[in-house]
Structure 1
Amino acid sequence: MKLLLILCVVLYGLSMLFILLYSLAQAHLLYRFRLFLRQKRPTLPAPKVWPLVTVQLPVYNEKYVVERLIDAVAALDYPADKLEIQLLDDSDDETTALIQQKVQQYLHLNLQHIQRQDRSGFKAGALKYGLELAKGEFIAIFDADFVPDPLFLKKTIPYFADAKLGMVQTRWAHLNKEYSVLTRLQALALDAHFFVEQVGRNSQQAFINFNGTGGVWRKTTILDAGNWQDDTLTEDLDLSYRAQLKGWQFLYLPEVESRAELPPVMSALKSQQFRWTKGGAESAVKHLGTVLRSEKPLQTKYHALAHLLNSSVFVAVLVASLASVPLLWAKVHYLLPVQAFQAAAVMLFSFIVISLVYFQADAFGKASGRGSFLLYFPLFLSMSMGLALHNAVAVWEGWTGRKSPFIRTPKFNLEGRQQRWQDNFYRSLKIPFTTYLEGLLGLLFLGVAAWGVVQKEYSLLIFHSMLALGYLLVFYYSFQSYRRI
């Protein structure tokens, strides 16, 4: 029993220490973001001759949004003779027919409908295949659910006058953040990344990442860095690190918006989260050693460490939450010294930092709307905790090298609350086993919180209550979102 308690203390302590170290990096990014706000980016003149740009649109079974995407890209304000549009279509449903019909409306544009024999390499394979055919000096990429600003290219291309610049990333904005509570919470999370984290890293020349869409690459940079590779589920993060390790510079433009759809249902969100977290873990395994051995400054390495391991926070949350249950029991029965629990108060710093990061992001992105941050932020934290099991499984698969296919996030084309998601053909059929475990964990932490109240031990009450709420909400939204036949 004593050895088990010691193990729980060690696991809990290491998990909370990891979260603390991660929050220190977040605090510095917040500081750098605040400094950036005092600066004014100079306006660059348009080039005398606009370069040839290839816009790549990787598509796989996107019948709900592909027509909107084509219309938006066709509306780009850029010289038509300098614009090449590649519809990289891997679809095996009616999306292909919709594309063929839509292309006929834009015969005045160089709009190419490109199909491969197979989906080898998934999105990375499609981008690589298209790159072999691309004539553009620069490559702009948009996922199927994006609606680019007509001035997107004119706002980004001038920065490539710097010959060392390899990639320009723009900020994601949200087409449907007001659709539901779930979309508001996602907007809050993404705004923290696209305001505080990306700005904070880029302002100090630390590693940032191309976010897979809403950005422009110099074609030479992609080729010099080894081209698109499909050995991780986040081909964008992987290529970003390879390019920056090669010496290419990246630029992030928070003032340029690229609007996109947020997953309106939990099953779609989980699909996206699994790919991002597992791919992040795979990229960490692939690049962390190289980064730490590089000649980059220590501060840059620290931020790269936090960046590549940010998905591992879910593992830390899961381990800490499970270890906290026997620790609460031990405290009630006076089996551990009080000092062991007093030391945990230091972790309050982590909560304060994370709160400030999201508060700052919310102030700019207005994700919660109408000054409702105090309502949405605790709910966001709870839901994030409730996703710990699902995402920890993804991280573990990434760490251990277990391979899985690239599962696209279903798109819905829902912007108004009156629109329905229930009829979407792409919703998943099968309810994963982990969904039932999430429901059981919700009941477990609800029972632990109630037991703590009965024992008049309130030190972990908020933590366990948030875990209970988070897991039960994730279970509920997950169960209702899977398409059952």
Structure 2
Amino acid sequence: METAILFTFGFLMFVVFLYSLSLLHLLINFLKSRSQKDTSQKWDFSDPSQIPFVTIQLPLYNDKPVVERLLRNIAEMDYPPEKLEVQVLDDSTDDSAALTARIVSELQATGFPIQHITRMHREGFKAGALKAGLETAKGEFIAIFDSDFVPNSDWLKKTVPYFRNEKLGVVQTRWGHLNANYSLLTKLQAFLLDYHFILEQTGRNFGKHFINFNGTAGIWRKKCILDAGNWEGDTLTEDLDLSYRAQLKGWEFKYLREVETPAELPITIAAARSQQFRWNKGAAENFRKNYRKLLMDKKLTFGTRVHSFFHLLNSSFFFVVLQMGIISIPVLFLLGDPAYSGIFTGMTIFILSPVIFFVTYYAAYKELHQNDRLSLFRFVGLFFTFFSIAMGLSLHISIAILEGHFGKKSEFIRTPKFNLKSRPHLKLNSPVKVNFQLIVEILLMLLFAFGIFSAFKIGTYSLLPFHLMMFFGFSYVVLASLNIEILAGRKTDLKGFENL
């Protein structure tokens, strides 16, 4: 039994080590990209004949708090109106549809080319709405923005010119954050997203590996969408699905790190959990749907296959971490046994994994905080807090990825939007739901408390940092889920919304 426990623990550490090596390679690509000059050919928009027709699609579903901000922002887009149309793809089932119709009518009266498109059903969810709008879209290029995004007025002029390259199917821009400083929760979400958009997207794109359209703040060539088989709603991340199908067809993607598109981060633990569940389950569904095609495609390089494997299985490493956490408790009691000292000595190489994580995350963080003299100290706090809470979400995300891998279908649940600046007195508390998952999270919190106690009891401290992070993470998730506001990191003022 002891040997089986140690073998399993060592294998899980090895899996994490391999994943960390893939991130190290992305870091190398990222660093190389910083010295490379962009030589892409672009259209010259000073010549009106080179400006193509663009359709902007705005998928909505019960987004009343943010719909007016979205529509009036899009109406400020600096692009020739005769070469622009805006489709408001509204699947709303509440009274927000009436508000949307009124604002659309006002904008139409000013001559702005916008139309309100509704469906009698929600088949295919967001993918279905985008596909339905595509049937009548007049644009050669299709820009997509979710309801909580507020692109700058020159967004189209910064992205569309790259499509002079006829092989280019997608241009994706970097997400910015309107309310990153609102609370601990939003700071940690910004920390994760910045890592993805600075290091992962840049590293994969520079290495000519597959990247993903992020569902919003990007623009497609309409021909690319159709050639790849159009939008499909059989996964919860239709954006990732179409991205892989398009790149398997040979279309190129371009990521523009320097073009920032601001958006509002979820401000409640329930909204963040819902979003993470959808994203992570969708990634697992896409691995199940598309990875075999990548293995069979002889045109792809070995590096692209490897990075696609870790890309699509990214969320599945939460399941690995959860298993490591549980198994680490009996491992703690074996650490002092001389019979296994050689095995533990061999495992020390895997200490490189957290070092690699630290270095890669710091490189991404430093890129956006170059003028902050205290950036390293702020980063250290965010890094350990983020990974602790990520560990606390490991059960929630493990359930999502297992459902995805085993093909269990679930409804596409849109992330709630709040726009607190326009509703400063909104009550965010929701009824506490003590379900089976929360009970298990409480038990895991207690399990890692036992691990911390045992470390001091038996005088073995090598796993203490890991158990402290697991305990803190599950404590945060449990208390935040129970609406204990101080530990949820929530503020009652509007700080963090100064950019709205």
TM range, smaller chain: over 0.9
The corresponding residue for 1:438 is 441
SS for the counterpart of 2:64 is: coil
Deviation at 1:435, TM superposition (A): 2.2
CA distance in 2, matches of 1:377, 1:298: 31
The corresponding residue for 2:427 is 422
Q: How many residue pairs align between the two structures?
A: 475
The corresponding residue for 1:17 is 14
The corresponding residue for 1:221 is 224
Change in 2 beyond 3 A, CA 1:366/1:432: farther
From 189, 196, 199, give the equivalent of 2:192. 189
CA distance in 2, matches of 1:96, 1:354: 45
1:163-211, CA deviations, whole angstroms, 9 ceiling, x for partnerless residues?
A: 0000000000000000011111111110110000000000011000000
CA distance in 1, matches of 2:481, 2:172: 32
Change in 2 beyond 3 A, CA 1:455/1:309: same
Is residue 308 of structure 1 aligned with residue 309 of structure 2?
no
The corresponding residue for 2:465 is 462
Q: Is this contact kept in 2: 1:141–1:212, CA < 8 A? A: yes
CA distance in 2, matches of 1:228, 1:480: 38
Q: Could you list the runs of 5+ residues in structure 2 that have no partner in the other structure?
A: 486-500
Change in 2 beyond 3 A, CA 1:219/1:481: farther
Q: Is this contact kept in 2: 1:195–1:254, CA < 8 A? A: yes
The corresponding residue for 2:27 is 30
The corresponding residue for 1:392 is 398
Q: Is this contact kept in 2: 1:172–1:258, CA < 8 A? A: yes
Deviation at 1:356, TM superposition (A): 1.1
1:216-236, CA deviations, whole angstroms, 9 ceiling, x for partnerless residues?
A: 000000000000001110000
Q: Is this contact kept in 2: 1:176–1:415, CA < 8 A? A: no
Q: Is this contact kept in 2: 1:185–1:367, CA < 8 A? A: no
Equivalent AA in structure 2 for residue 422 of structure 1: K
Q: Is this contact kept in 2: 1:273–1:391, CA < 8 A? A: yes
SS for the counterpart of 2:483 is: helix
SS for the counterpart of 2:99 is: helix
CA distance in 2, matches of 1:248, 1:337: 52
Q: Is this contact kept in 2: 1:177–1:367, CA < 8 A? A: no
Is residue 46 of structure 1 aligned with residue 44 of structure 2?
yes
The corresponding residue for 1:278 is 281
Change in 2 beyond 3 A, CA 1:132/1:378: same
Change in 2 beyond 3 A, CA 1:367/1:471: farther
1:76-117, CA deviations, whole angstroms, 9 ceiling, x for partnerless residues?
A: 100111111011101111210110121122111111111011
Change in 2 beyond 3 A, CA 1:422/1:131: same
Equivalent AA in structure 2 for residue 127 of structure 1: L
Q: Is this contact kept in 2: 1:264–1:421, CA < 8 A? A: no
CA distance in 1, matches of 2:10, 2:150: 45
Change in 2 beyond 3 A, CA 1:335/1:411: farther
CA distance in 2, matches of 1:330, 1:357: 32
Q: Is this contact kept in 2: 1:64–1:412, CA < 8 A? A: yes
The corresponding residue for 2:151 is 148
Equivalent AA in structure 1 for residue 71 of structure 2: I
Change in 2 beyond 3 A, CA 1:477/1:367: farther
Q: Is this contact kept in 2: 1:266–1:481, CA < 8 A? A: no
The corresponding residue for 1:360 is 363
Deviation at 1:293, TM superposition (A): 1.6
Question: Percent identity over the alignment?
Answer: 48
Change in 2 beyond 3 A, CA 1:336/1:442: farther
CA distance in 2, matches of 1:415, 1:207: 38
1:412-438, CA deviations, whole angstroms, 9 ceiling, x for partnerless residues?
A: 11369x9456348xx687454312322
Equivalent AA in structure 2 for residue 32 of structure 1: N
CA RMSD of aligned residues (A): 2.0
SS for the counterpart of 1:327 is: helix
The corresponding residue for 2:348 is 345
Q: Is this contact kept in 2: 1:175–1:415, CA < 8 A? A: no
Change in 2 beyond 3 A, CA 1:448/1:187: same
Change in 2 beyond 3 A, CA 1:447/1:176: same
Deviation at 1:339, TM superposition (A): 2.0
Q: Superposition pairs for residues 240-251 of structure 1, below 5 Å?
A: 240-251=243-254
Q: Superposition pairs for residues 11-410 of structure 1, below 5 Å?
A: 11-42=8-39, 44-47=42-45, 48=47, 49=49, 50-107=51-108, 108-295=111-298, 296-332=300-336, 334=337, 337-366=340-369, 371=375, 372-410=378-416
Equivalent AA in structure 1 for residue 427 of structure 2: Q
CA distance in 1, matches of 2:161, 2:367: 26
Q: Is this contact kept in 1: 2:432–2:483, CA < 8 A? A: no
Q: Is this contact kept in 1: 2:268–2:428, CA < 8 A? A: no
Deviation at 1:45, TM superposition (A): 4.6
SS for the counterpart of 1:256 is: strand
SS for the counterpart of 1:250 is: strand
Change in 2 beyond 3 A, CA 1:385/1:119: same
CA distance in 2, matches of 1:364, 1:411: 29
Q: Is this contact kept in 2: 1:188–1:368, CA < 8 A? A: no
SS for the counterpart of 1:65 is: helix
CA distance in 2, matches of 1:268, 1:368: 32
Change in 2 beyond 3 A, CA 1:432/1:101: farther
Q: Is this contact kept in 2: 1:267–1:428, CA < 8 A? A: no
SS for the counterpart of 1:263 is: coil
- Runs of 4 or more off by more than 6 Å in structure 1? none
Change in 2 beyond 3 A, CA 1:40/1:471: same
SS for the counterpart of 1:146 is: coil
Change in 2 beyond 3 A, CA 1:130/1:45: closer
Q: Is this contact kept in 2: 1:171–1:254, CA < 8 A? A: yes
SS for the counterpart of 1:182 is: helix
Q: Is this contact kept in 2: 1:46–1:154, CA < 8 A? A: no
Deviation at 1:477, TM superposition (A): 1.4
CA distance in 2, matches of 1:479, 1:464: 22
Change in 2 beyond 3 A, CA 1:289/1:189: same
Deviation at 1:368, TM superposition (A): 13
Deviation at 1:481, TM superposition (A): 7.9
Change in 2 beyond 3 A, CA 1:388/1:367: farther
